[in-house]
């Protein structure tokens, strides 16, 4: 994957030496102190941490784990087979069940489709849980398998064309929810299946809002794959904007909001290209659309609203590598007005990127702590956050190294 693609939190797994350094620093031990407790030298510890010395024998690892008070041996070794509660491979524990529901092909089923109102009520509860629960991936991951199966069944059992289109719109929304869960998980093929099925269901529904949401998510999937896919992101995005623009004079708030979200996404992609003028022009257009929405409006899927535009300005500045501007925009934005916990956490991560660009690593780490407080499952699967933390575990400042190491453990990076 290109270096300026969205960082993959599962790439470059931590080596034994990196894990040892993080755990030692978190414990507050110097290399000389750990070496003394092991009956070895500080140079021996350094050689282990830098990879100059091979991973030691099991009895030595166990002794290190005892000194460092490691609760799970896998945190030190990186061998997840040691951790009996963890399913094979990285990712969220509920990923296999969600994947099984997506991959199923239920041509014949005794399952009876729920009433449309019941399905919509469950979807509304699932979105509310995603925005409000700190462990939102766990909650949504538990709800998704049945939602996927029931929404698929509703499409197959629809009696009329209108019922089928409404069921397709609901199915498209379920796939949108699934894409939020699957994002940043170690299964790119699954992400694309979900995105493509969402697009197809949305097109079949003929519902402008469903089409806009599916396109918004598909454009993100393309853009996050790196520069080679930026043109595809723009193609999906701009074609959908051309479809929605004529509908805006009579559109409801939801269609206006998803159009605003797509407008900002075009600016986001331009910022990733380094096109400063274009990026800020699209941001200005999106802000004008946000200003047409009620002050307390908040789109339940894209988070588009007046409140989110400050966070979007931080993102544009960060992607343009404008450290000072991103810090100024962060000071102007009010994260407390963002009602969604994962979206608030994502904004904090973008702020942290800005602080790091501006040469303020301590502020970056403090901001990542706030992101963890808002939504631990957002920051845990974010590659940008991982990159900042791991860079600071090797900082010259002992205090900063220790803080970064403590944060690495808190974020669960040793289990990655």
pLDDT at 81: 45
Binned at pLDDT 50, 70 and 90, residue 265 comes out as very high
294-342 residue pLDDT tens? 999 999 999 999 999 999 999 999 999 999 999 999 999 888 889 999 9
**69 backbone φψ class: left, alpha, beta (φ>0; ψ -120 to 50):** left
80 to 91, 92, 93: CA distances (angstroms): 12, 13, 13
Helices 188-205, 161-182: axis angle to 10 degrees equals 160
Mean local confidence (pLDDT), 25-38: 87
Q: For residue 187, what pLDDT is reported?
A: 87
Residue for token pair 């942290």: 352
Structural tokens at position 30:
């110097």
pLDDT in tens, 131-154: 999 899 999 999 999 999 999 999
List pLDDT tens digits, range 174-213: 999 999 999 988 888 999 999 999 999 999 999 999 999 9
Instruction: Say if residue 89's pLDDT is above 70.
Output: no
The per-residue pLDDT for 364 is 96
What pLDDT score does 244 carry? 98
Whether residue 2 is predicted with pLDDT greater than 90 in this model: the reply is: no
pLDDT digits (tens, 9 = 90+) for 40-54: 999 999 999 999 999
Average pLDDT over residues 105-123: 86
What is the token pair recorded at 166?
């409404």
Q: Where are the domains of the chain?
A: 7-91+395-416, 93-206
Of the CA atoms within 13 Å of residue 168, those in its CB half-sphere come to 22
172 within 8 A of 210, measured Cβ to Cβ: yes
Using alpha carbons, list the distances in angstroms from residue 375 to 6, 41, 187, 392, 395.
20, 41, 22, 21, 26
Residue with tokens 């790091």: 356
Q: Which residues contact 175 (CB under 8 A, 6 or more apart)?
A: 148, 194, 195, 197, 198, 201, 214
The token pair that represents 85 in the structure block: 């509660």
Model confidence at 108: pLDDT above 80: no
d(CA 217, CA 199): 9
Sign for the pseudo-dihedral over CA of 368, 374, 379, 380:
positive
Burial tier of 163 (Cβ tally within 10 Å: 0-12, 13-18, 19+): middle
Domain 7-91+395-416 grouped into CATH 1.10.260.40: yes
Average pLDDT value for residue range 16-25: 91
Other Cβ atoms less than 10 A from the Cβ of 410: the count is: 16
Q: How many residues does the chain have?
A: 416
The beta-carbon contacts of 127-134 under 8 Å, at least 24 apart in sequence, are 127/177, 127/300, 127/301, 130/177, 130/180, 130/340, 130/342, 131/300, 131/339, 131/340, 131/341, 131/342, 131/343, 132/340, 132/341, 133/341, 134/341, 134/374, 134/375, 134/376, 134/377
Sequence-ordered list of residues with C-beta below 8 angstroms from that of 115, at least 6 positions apart, any chain: none
pLDDT at 77 exceeding the cut of 80: yes
**Predicted local distance difference test score (pLDDT) of residue 404:** 93
pLDDT at residue 282 is higher than 80: yes
pLDDT at 9 (0 to 100):
65
Q: b/e for 148-161, b at 16 or more Cβ within 10 A? A: bbbbbbbbeebeee
């Amino acid at each position: 994957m290109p270096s300026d693609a969205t960082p993959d939190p599962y790439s470059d797994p931590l080596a034994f030496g990196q894990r040892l350094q993080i755990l030692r620093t978190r414990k507050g031990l110097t290399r000389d102190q750990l070496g003394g407790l092991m009956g070895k030298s500080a140079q021996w510890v350094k050689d282990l941490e830098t990879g100059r010395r091979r991973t030691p024998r099991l009895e030595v690892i166990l002794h290190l784990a005892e000194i460092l008070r490691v609760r799970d041996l896998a945190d030190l070794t990186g061998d997840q087979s040691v951790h009996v509660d963890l399913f094979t491979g990285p990712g969220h524990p509920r990923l296999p069940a969600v994947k099984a529901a997506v991959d199923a092909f239920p041509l014949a089923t005794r399952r009876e489709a729920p009433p449309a109102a019941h399905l919509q009520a469950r979807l509304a509860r699932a979105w509310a849980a995603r925005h409000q629960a700190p462990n939102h991936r766990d909650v949504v991951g538990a709800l998704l398998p049945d939602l996927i199966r029931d929404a698929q069944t509703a499409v197959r059992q629809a009696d009329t064309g209108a019922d089928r289109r409404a069921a397709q719109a609901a199915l498209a929304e379920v796939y949108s929810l699934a894409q939020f869960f699957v994002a940043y998980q170690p299964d790119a093929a699954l992400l694309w299946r979900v995105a493509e099925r969402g697009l197809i269901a949305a097109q079949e529904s003929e519902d402008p809002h469903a089409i806009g949401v599916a396109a918004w998510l598909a454009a993100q999937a393309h853009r996050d794959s790196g520069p080679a896919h930026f043109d595809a992101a723009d193609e999906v995005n701009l074609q959908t904007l051309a479809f929605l623009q004529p509908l805006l004079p009579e559109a409801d708030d939801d269609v206006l909001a998803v159009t605003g979200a797509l407008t900002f996404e075009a600016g986001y992609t331009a910022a990733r290209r380094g096109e400063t003028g274009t990026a800020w022009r699209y941001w200005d257009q999106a802000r004008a659309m946000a200003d047409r929405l009620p002050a307390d409006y908040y789109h339940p899927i894209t988070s588009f609203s007046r409140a989110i535009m400050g966070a979007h300005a931080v993102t544009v500045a960060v992607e343009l590598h404008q450290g000072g501007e991103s810090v100024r925009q962060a000071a102007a934005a009010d994260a407390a007005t963002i009602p969604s916990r994962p979206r608030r956490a994502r904004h904090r991560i973008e702020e942290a990127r800005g602080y790091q660009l501006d040469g303020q690593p301590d502020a970056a780490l403090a901001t990542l702590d706030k992101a963890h407080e808002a939504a631990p499952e957002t920051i845990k699967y974010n590659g940008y956050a991982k990159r900042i933390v791991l860079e600071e575990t090797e900082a010259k400042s002992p205090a900063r190294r220790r803080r970064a190491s403590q944060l690495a453990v808190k974020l669960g990076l040793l289990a990655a």
